[in-house]
Amino acid sequence: MSDGQDRQDGGAPLEIEVEGLRKTFGRREVLKGLSFGVPRGGFLSIFGPNGAGKTTTLRVLATLLTASAGTVKVAGHDVREDPMPVRRAIGLISHNAMLYPDLTAQENLRFYADMYGLTDADERISDLLERLELSARRYDVVRTYSKGMRQRLAIARAVLHRPRVLLLDEPHSGLDPRAVDILDGLLAEIRDEHTFVMVTHNIAKGLEWGTKLMIIEGGRIAYEHAAGVDHDAFSAVYREHVHDGSVL
Amino acid sequence: MTVEEGARYVAAVYAVIMAVLVAYYIISSRRVSALQRDVQLLEEETRRRQAQATEAGAE
Amino acid sequence: MKKLVSAPALFVGAGVLLVIGALLAFWYAPIDASSMGFSQKIFYYHAPIAAAAIAAFGVAFVAAIVYLRTQDLLWDRLGYVSVRIGLLFSILVMITGMIWGKAAWGVWWAWEPRLTTFLLACFLYAAYWVLRSVVDEEQRRATYAAVFAVVAFVDVPITFFATRFLPEGLHPVVVGPGGGGMEGSVALSFAVCLVGMLLLMAALIRRDVEIELIKDRVTDLKTSLGG
Amino acid sequence: MGGWAQFKAIVRKDLIRELRTRDMLVSMILFVILAMIIFHYAFTVEEGSDLTWFTGGMLWVTFIFAMLLGLNRSFAQEKDERCLDGLLLCPVDRVTIFLAKTAGNLVFLLIIQAVAVPVFALFFIERSFLGDLLPFLVVLLLADLGICSLGTLLATISMNTRSRDLLLPILFLPLIVPVLIAATGATTLIFAEGTGFGSLAMRMLFLLGFDAVFLVAAWGTYDFAIGE
């Protein structure tokens, strides 16, 4: 309300601003001009069939891919022009843990803490391991961890440097129900501390968390809505926009 | 080697090399025309389908 | 980019110059006074072919750098085609080099700096070829190929320099210090042959880039029809 | 921000990993010593053949092939567990990653050489070359740096291709020939004649130039090699 940035999202300034994002791989155009914003503290859930460009979008936000055209700003910095502050401001949780299996939990986190230049690394690591109930195993090699424990450690890795924005790439896929519960518990705990973008196939989870919903289809935004759509109505919308019969 | 022999020898090799290069060029030129024909056919097909699609849309 | 001159025009220009060059080389330029005699005439096509090969690799090097800066696949196609033409000329260099070796030194193969360098360049650019064939994703293939093309082109002169650490080479130094200048008639004939060969190289690259671009167009049309 | 701290962090991580599993070092050391035994039988034509003039060649061929084994491993894990994404997400200059990876590989190569060279001397070199140790070490370091920087750049590329460890030697070997020529010549001269710095100066300068050129080339291209 105070500045011109706000849209339908209320007063919070935009933490993520995407304007005319295009991405081509070779001669294949995967993203055909996306524009959207996420206000600070918001939670954007992105749905869509496989190959629609969801993960590509997320990887552009994460600076792992460079946009072919358009501007992308995360935490006030242009992703292409100024990637370093963006990298400091984001954390990524995906179904790949991105942990070194031959290092211990402590060593893994210590490594990432050094990479991010954390000054209070030791306390931060202890604190996180405590919260994630991994303290007892902190000196064990990650290779010996169960899938759920790895996922918890991956969350610790992603939030270690207190990122303003958390990017979630299908975080629920491949998890057993117990691990899903733990992940949800953790998300609930850290929900207020970050802005979120989640790419998911899981409509229930996406609706549960999202303050804003988006369906990407064929590299374009097919549907965009504020939260508050119930599951059945959204499923109908999803089927209307996505015709490939992919898993709901 | 006499001068006559040398001349024949060198000229023959030269001719062979030039023949290789000219052949390469000619083959690639034929390739271009073949491919251009493909493009033409495909473009016609695209146009035809587009026309069909607009017709179907109009009905 | 290269709409300036058509391939046929380059090809005709090359043909005219090469024919004139051959006439000059065989009838106008004097027969070598040294032991090589008439077979020294190999020089009029061996050296221009070598120059054309190096120039083609140079084009690939420049195209690689431009590609890395612009990410425009047109430059990838140019680089790819230039390497292919460079390899074709390199193989011709090896063949004519071996003939030269037989005529001048009585052996088919000598581990002589220039010949060895060309042999290694052949392997380098063959590796470039292999590299392209094992990357599926187009943009990634173009990027890796470009990085390798840069490294390879930098490596070639270094290799040449390194071979100087081996015992003395046999290669005649025809131009430059020590070899004495060329006679006017020799220089003129050589220059015509050189420019002709470079034009021929340009014509081949020009034509093959055209082929690659049309092939891209065909795949584009096919995917749009299929999808 | 601390590029140096990040450099140290990556090197330390690679060293901890390798010293814990030792899968790379053990096989590299076994390979190197086995290669020497094979060279002995391959080159000995009669009882007591003098192999002095082959020493440089044997040594560097062994090192280069051992390094190929190691290079394939050095990125395999980054790739398999998608740790590379984690690394690329960090606010780290890509050149720092390159330098750290090169340094890690250099350390492994030096460990191999610390084992291999004494064994090699025992097997093949009759005269004591302790007096020429200094020039030898200079040549060793300069050549290693070239091998590791070029190898790291190419391993980064080859790990993302379909035929990974098959591709690396094809890319690496033709490019490393200049180093092989200079290092082999210098090493043989040292072992056979015990020449001092004087007659090796050109080769050392050449190796230094090679290192500089490829460090710069990698500097300019590593962003592309590791990204996307």
Dump pLDDT digits (tens) for D97-126: 999 999 999 999 999 999 999 998 888 877
Interface of B with C (CB under 8 A): 1, 3, 6-7, 9-11, 13-14, 17-18, 20-21, 24-25, 28-29, 31-32, 35-36, 38-39, 42-43, 45-46, 49
β-bridge mates for residue A212, sequence order? A44, A226
Phi-psi group of D134: left, alpha or beta (phi > 0 → left; psi -120 to 50 → alpha; rest → beta) = alpha
How much of chain D exceeds pLDDT 90, in percent?
Answer: 59
For residue D22, the chain A residues in CB contact (below 8 A) are none
Helices (H), chain A: 54-61, 83-89, 105-116, 121-131, 147-159, 177-190, 203-209, 231-241
In this prediction, residue A4 carries a pLDDT of 39
Element of type H or E holding D148 = helix D133-158
Closest residue on chain A to D22 (Cα): A102
Q: Residue A13 corresponds to which amino acid? A: P
Q: According to the per-residue pLDDT averaged within each range, which of B13-27, C90-104, C119-133 is highest?
A: C119-133
Q: Which two tokens stand for residue A114?
A: 């050094």
β-bridge mates for residue A223, sequence order? A215
Judge whether residue C181 has pLDDT over 60.
no
Alpha-carbon distances of D40 from B26, D43, D52, D118, rounded to whole Å: 54, 6, 11, 16
Q: Are A87 and D90 in contact (CB under 8 A)?
A: yes
* Number of folded domains that form chain A: 1
* pLDDT class of B3 with cuts at 50, 70, 90: low
Q: Are A201 and A169 in contact (CB under 8 A)?
A: no
What's the average model confidence in pLDDT over D53-67?
A: 91
CA D10 to chain centre: 18
Phi, psi of A38 (to 5 degrees): -130, 120
Phi, psi of C205 (to 5 degrees): -65, -45
C144, C150, C159 member nearest D217 (Cβ): C150
Q: Cβ neighbours of residue D193 under 8 Å, at least 6 residues apart? A: none
What's the average model confidence in pLDDT over D161-178?
A: 91
Task: Note the pLDDT tens digit of each residue in C188-204.
Answer: 888 999 999 999 999 99
What CATH number is given to the structural domain containing A31?
A: 3.40.50.300
Q: Cβ neighbours of residue D149 under 8 Å, at least 6 residues apart? A: D102, D211, D214, D215, D218
For residue C71, the chain A residues in CB contact (below 8 A) are 68
Q: Cβ neighbours of residue D181 under 8 Å, at least 6 residues apart? A: C162, C163, C165, C166
In this prediction, residue A243 carries a pLDDT of 66
Inspect the interface and report whether the beta carbons of B31 and C49 lie closer than 8 Å.
no
Closest-CA distance of chain C to residue B44, Å: 10
Measured distance CA(A244)–CA(A225) in Å, rounded:
21
- Order of strands, sheet of A28-39, starting from the edge strand that comes earlier in the sequence: A28-39, A14-25, A69-74, A77-78
- Give the best residue of C69, C75, C77, C138 to mutate against chain A (max A CB count within 10 A): C138
* pLDDT class of A228 with cuts at 50, 70, 90: confident
| Closest among C98, C100, C118 to C108, alpha carbons compared | C98
DSSP per residue, A3-53: STT--TT-SSPEEEEEEEEEEEETTEEEEEEEEEEEETT-EEEEE--TTSS
Q: Which two tokens stand for residue C142?
A: 């173009």
β-bridge mates for residue A199, sequence order? A46, A169
In this prediction, residue C177 carries a pLDDT of 40
- For residue C182, give the DSSP letter: P
Measured distance CA(D13)–CA(D30) in Å, rounded:
24
Whether there are 3 or more C-beta pairs closer than 8 Å between A and B is: no
For residue A66, the chain D residues in CB contact (below 8 A) are 227-228
Judge whether residue D143 has pLDDT over 90.
yes
Whether there are 3 or more C-beta pairs closer than 8 Å between D and C is: yes
Q: Does A194 map to a domain?
A: yes
A64, A66, A100 member nearest D13 (Cβ): A100
* pLDDT class of C27 with cuts at 50, 70, 90: confident
β-bridge mates for residue A36, sequence order? A18
User: Largest Cα–Cα distance in chain D?
Assistant: 62
Q: Which two tokens stand for residue C161?
A: 């320099």
Q: Are D190 and D204 in contact (CB under 8 A)?
A: no
CA A74 to chain centre: 12
C139, C148, C163 member nearest D171 (Cβ): C148
Q: Are C41 and C25 in contact (CB under 8 A)?
A: yes
What's the average model confidence in pLDDT over D16-22?
A: 90
Inspect the interface and report whether the beta carbons of C138 and A26 lie closer than 8 Å.
yes
The three-class DSSP label of residue D111 is helix
Measured distance CA(C83)–CA(A55) in Å, rounded:
35
Report CA torsion sign: D104, D109, D112, D118. negative
| Closest among D144, D59, D160 to D102, alpha carbons compared | D144
The three-class DSSP label of residue A221 is strand
Judge whether residue D227 has pLDDT over 70.
yes
In this prediction, residue C36 carries a pLDDT of 66
Q: Residue D147 corresponds to which amino acid? A: I
Among C42-56, C83-97, D193-207, the range scoring the smallest mean pLDDT is D193-207
The three-class DSSP label of residue A197 is strand
CA C227 to chain centre: 41
How many A/C residue pairs have CB atoms within 8 Å? Answer: 16
Q: Does A248 map to a domain?
A: no
Task: Note the pLDDT tens digit of each residue in A115-155.
Answer: 999 999 999 999 999 888 888 999 999 999 988 788 889 88
For residue D219, the chain C residues in CB contact (below 8 A) are none
In this prediction, residue A236 carries a pLDDT of 80
Task: Note the pLDDT tens digit of each residue in A186-222.
Answer: 888 888 888 999 998 888 888 888 889 898 988 888 8
What's the average model confidence in pLDDT over D67-77?
A: 87
* pLDDT class of C43 with cuts at 50, 70, 90: confident
- For residue C181, give the DSSP letter: P
CA C15 to chain centre: 17
CA dihedral D67, D68, D73, D75 (to 10 degrees): 100
Q: Does A171 map to a domain?
A: yes
Closest residue on chain C to B24 (Cα): C204
Q: Which two tokens stand for residue C151?
A: 């490294």
Q: How many CB atoms lie within 10 A of CB A111?
A: 24
Mean pLDDT (chain C) is 85
The three-class DSSP label of residue C112 is coil
| Closest among A158, A132, A128 to A145, alpha carbons compared | A132
- The total number of residues shown for chain B amounts to 59
How many B/C residue pairs have CB atoms within 8 Å? Answer: 74
- The total number of residues shown for chain C amounts to 227
Q: Does A177 map to a domain?
A: yes
β-bridge mates for residue A114, sequence order? none
Closest residue on chain A to D79 (Cα): A98
Mean pLDDT (chain D) is 89
Identify the residue whose tokens are 């004087």.
Answer: D198
What's the average model confidence in pLDDT over A18-34?
A: 88
How much of chain C exceeds pLDDT 90, in percent?
Answer: 45
Q: Quick check: ipTM above 0.90?
A: no
Could you list the beta-strand ranges (E) of D58-160: none
Helix and strand numbers (H, E) in chain D are 8, 0
Q: How many CB atoms lie within 10 A of CB D156?
A: 27
Inspect the interface and report whether the beta carbons of D150 and C152 lie closer than 8 Å.
no
Closest-CA distance of chain C to residue D228, Å: 7
Q: Does D206 touch chain C (CB under 8 A)?
A: yes
In this prediction, residue A239 carries a pLDDT of 79
Closest-CA distance of chain C to residue A25, Å: 6
For residue A91, the chain D residues in CB contact (below 8 A) are 89
Judge whether residue D165 has pLDDT over 70.
yes
Q: Does D199 touch chain C (CB under 8 A)?
A: no
How much of chain A exceeds pLDDT 90, in percent?
Answer: 39
Q: Cβ neighbours of residue D31 under 8 Å, at least 6 residues apart? A: D62, D65, D66, D69
The three-class DSSP label of residue A170 is coil
Q: Are C113 and C163 in contact (CB under 8 A)?
A: yes
Quick one: D47 exposed, middle or buried, by C-beta within 10 A (0-12, 13-18, 19+)? exposed
Q: Does A243 touch chain C (CB under 8 A)?
A: no
In this prediction, residue B59 carries a pLDDT of 53
For residue C134, the chain D residues in CB contact (below 8 A) are 161-163, 167
Inspect the interface and report whether the beta carbons of B49 and C225 lie closer than 8 Å.
yes
Judge whether residue D13 has pLDDT over 80.
yes
Q: Name the residue with higher pLDDT: B4 or B31.
A: B31
Q: How many CB atoms lie within 10 A of CB A31?
A: 27
In this prediction, residue C171 carries a pLDDT of 53
Beta strands at A14-25 and A220-226: parallel, antiparallel or unpaired: unpaired
For residue D82, the chain A residues in CB contact (below 8 A) are 94, 96-98
Judge whether residue B1 has pLDDT over 70.
no
* pLDDT class of D72 with cuts at 50, 70, 90: confident
For residue B1, the chain C residues in CB contact (below 8 A) are 37-39, 103
In this prediction, residue A3 carries a pLDDT of 41
* pLDDT class of C25 with cuts at 50, 70, 90: confident
Judge whether residue A9 has pLDDT over 50.
no
Judge whether residue C3 has pLDDT over 60.
no
Q: Which two tokens stand for residue A242?
A: 């996505």
Judge whether residue B48 has pLDDT over 70.
yes
Range of the domain at A131: 14-241
